[in-house]
Amino acid sequence: SEVASQIAEHAKFGGVVPEVASRNHLVHAPRLLDRVAREAKIDISQIDAFAATSGPGLASSLMIGASIAKGLAIGFGKPYLAINHLEGHLLSPFFGETEIRPNVSLIVSGGHTMSILVRRLGDYEIIGRSVDDAAGEAFDKIAKLLGLGYPGGPEIEKHAIKGDPKRFDLPRSMPDSANFSFSGLKTAVRYLLPKLKGDYLADVCASVEEAIVDVLIRKAIAAAKKHAVDLVTISGGVSCNRTLRKQLDEACKRHRLEFKTAEPWLCTD
């Protein structure tokens, strides 16, 4: 397994630039394929199948990945597998296992926030989804308001460690719905900041983190109870957040549920 990260490239612009992303895909994907084959000590022709993400995502980047994988599949007479981006996240907590147990899956990333009832492999039902900003998007936008770098989630988490999460009472939207909404949180922070003086950064970050984590945990636990499953999983880039992992694990134990997630390196795109 090899990964080429574009975070440093996009950090210069404060977010993902589609044209830059697709050009980097075009440059790095063939190199990564060659490196993987060399390290595995095989010829590319020995690969059993070629796969690429089919979506959702940036169209230009998806096109690059699919074109390379399809070309190799046709050239070597091998199967081509189109992989759903979100299904990849959903299955990541079961990496290396042969069985997918029924669970409520929480997918939390920069582009998506949703809870899904997983009955078995390929049998999924969306329980709730973001009606506006995804959780990761809220982290990024609020980080920008605070003058922090990109991606915003890790930046806010870094400062939140030193802050008081109870100092600012920030909104938790749609408490009685299975859906998610984080645009109100972003707006609340925007109006709060001009009123603040002194050393407030760590406390704002801690309060923002707690507001997002609280909503995610409450809705995940509620979904598991409603649909009578005893396993909660979480995936996507935001699931790397250590406070979220720790508090969701603790909440699951309190409610006699099992909690499962992937290693952080499997959570990001």
- 239 CB burial (10 A radius; 0-12, 13-18, 19+): buried
Please tell me the predicted confidence (pLDDT) of residue 192. 98
Please tell me the predicted confidence (pLDDT) of residue 14. 81
Give residue-wise pLDDT tens across range 3-42.
Answer: 778 888 888 888 888 888 899 889 899 899 899 899 999 9
Q: Calculate the CA dihedral of residues 224, 228, 229, 232 and round it to 10 degrees.
A: 10
CA–CA dist 201, 164 (Å, integer): 10
CATH of 7-78, one of 3.40.50.2300, 1.10.357.10, 3.30.420.40, 3.30.1370.60: 3.30.420.40
CA–CA dist 173, 183 (Å, integer): 9
Helix 59-76 to helix 18-40 angle, to the nearest 10 degrees?
Answer: 30
Residues 240, 267 contacting (CB under 8 angstroms): yes
Residues 267, 235 contacting (CB under 8 angstroms): yes
Q: 7-78 and 89-266 share one CATH topology?
A: yes
Average pLDDT over residues 113-122: 98
20-29, 45-54, 99-108, 192-201: range with lowest mean pLDDT: 20-29
Residue extents of the structural domains in the chain: 7-78, 89-266
Average pLDDT over residues 128-140: 97
Give residue-wise pLDDT tens across range 198-230.
Answer: 999 999 999 999 999 999 999 999 999 999 999
Q: pTM for the whole thing? A: 0.91
Each as own residue / partner, the long-range contacts of residues 94-97 (CB below 8 Å, 24 or more positions apart, any chain) are 94/233, 94/260, 95/262, 95/263, 95/266
Confidence of residue 190 (pLDDT cuts 50, 70, 90): very high
CATH number of 89-266: 3.30.420.40
